[in-house]
């Protein structure tokens, strides 16, 4: 009955993925390559989760 109140997990993962990529870009622009690498790695992990969720 209240299914419309539940958040879509795919949408949440996609938003987190995009936010991590944005943070990574800002880190790269500021010259913090180590942080850029860490954030990019985290974003790729989110993308893998999203891809697994999409295949199911």
The token duo for 15 is 């938003």
Q: Is the pTM of this model over 0.85?
A: no
> Residue ranges per domain, the chain?
7-55
Whole-number pLDDT of residue 2: 66
DSSP secondary structure letters along 25-40: HHHHHHT-HHHHHHHH
What is the pLDDT at residue 1? Answer: 59
pLDDT attached to residue 55: 81
Tell me, what's the pLDDT at 53?
A: 80
The alpha-carbon radius of gyration of the chain (Å, integer) is 14
| Structure confidence by residue, pLDDT tens digits, 3-43 | 677 778 899 999 999 999 999 999 999 999 999 999 999 99
């Amino acid at each position: 009955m209240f299914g419309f109140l539940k958040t879509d997990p795919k949408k949440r993962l996609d938003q987190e993925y995009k936010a991590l990529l944005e943070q990574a870009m800002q880190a790269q622009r500021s010259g913090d390559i180590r942080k850029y690498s860490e954030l990019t790695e985290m974003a790729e992990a989110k993308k893998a989760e999203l891809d697994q969720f999409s295949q199911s």
